Amino acid sequence: MRRRIWRNSPWDALLLAFSLGQAAVTLWWALTWDSAPALGRIGEFAGLAIMMSYNIIVVSHLFTHAAWFTSPRLNAAVSVLNSVNIGQSVQAYHLTHVRNHHRFNNDAQDESGVTRDTTSTYRKGRDGEHQALLAYALGGALDTLLSRAREVLMAGRLWRVGEHETTLLALVSRREPRRSRELGQVRADRAAHVLSLAVLTAVSWQWTLLCYLPAFFTALTMVNVQNYYRHYGANPHDRAADSVSHYGRLYNLLTFNDGFHQEHHLSPSAHWSRLPAVRETNRDRLDTRPRVVSPVPAMLGFLHPTRPLLHRTTGQRSGS
């Protein structure tokens, strides 16, 4: 009997192709930086920022929820590859995103002013409000950049997850051998990212300093803007209205149904190809309550000035 390669859909080959293409283009740009004209260098910066943000928002995000292959080794290789592409461990992203964000769903502050979701837009807000956009986007990007800088310094202990990384350790499985496997993947991801960055720096330190690092910071900021408007104005107390969807056909075609974000919250493990079906299955539940549906993609959420602010008008928790 022929063994199946793709766990969910052979269409995931498109996501793999993007991952491989991004790695190849990134290396090519580093190799040709010295001979590139000024306009070309600006284009490389913009292109790199867009590729990184797209990978985090779409490619690696989808992979963390529904791994592409039936083979654990192939999935481990993809994790390493995209850790190089996005400048951070995909396995760590899986732990913090799937096991934290999708457990607490951008929760509002509790009575003591704390959110359980570490990426919640309310985490540093005041008086029940979201944190200001620029502070959330730029501050979060700076925190991530500093965290990656610390990982560069972990070479002495070969990028093992340290005992001081309590947040990450709390999210790792408590069962063996799964726990060791997850910690080992974080370590491999980090090593691949740092070593690839060292190679790129050796190829062209000017490219690394003037293109890669600014593009990385820009990509992180863009990702934070995306996450902000995926939840801005939604009702954090209602499981069927705690995020924002965008149903534009072109956007969802280009992003593998990324716009179906409320549906994704309702069924995080659903493969991207099934998200429209999740919407149909939950249509009665979704259509019987106030929720935010944006006419623009989340990255352009600031162009939706009439967005309802349900977090201001609803205070009772609803799980129905």
Domain boundaries, the chain: 34-229, 238-320
CA neighbor of 317 nearest in space, from 245, 235, 257:
235
Name the β-bridge partners of 245. 293
**For position 109, what pLDDT does the model report?**
96
d(CA 108, CA 104): 9
User: Which pTM was predicted?
Assistant: 0.95
Tokens 């867009």 identify what position? Answer: 50
Per-residue model confidence (pLDDT) at position 319: 45
Radius of gyration (Cα) for the chain, nearest Å? Answer: 20
54 DSSP assignment: H
Residue 313: what pLDDT? Answer: 83
| The pLDDT value given to residue 302 | 96
Per-residue pLDDT 10s for the chain (320 aa) are 457 999 999 999 999 999 999 999 999 999 999 999 999 999 999 999 999 999 999 999 999 999 999 999 999 999 999 999 999 999 999 999 999 999 999 999 999 999 999 999 999 999 999 999 999 999 999 999 999 999 988 888 899 999 999 999 999 999 999 999 999 999 999 999 999 999 999 999 999 999 999 999 999 999 999 999 999 999 999 999 999 999 999 999 999 999 999 999 999 999 999 999 999 999 999 999 999 999 999 999 999 999 999 999 865 444 44
Contacts of 282 (CB under 8 A, 6+ apart): 240, 263, 266
Residue whose tokens read 């998200």? 275
How does DSSP assign 108-161, residue by residue?
PP-TTS--SSTT-TTTT-STTPPPPHHHHHHHHHHHHHHHHHHHHGGGGGTTPP
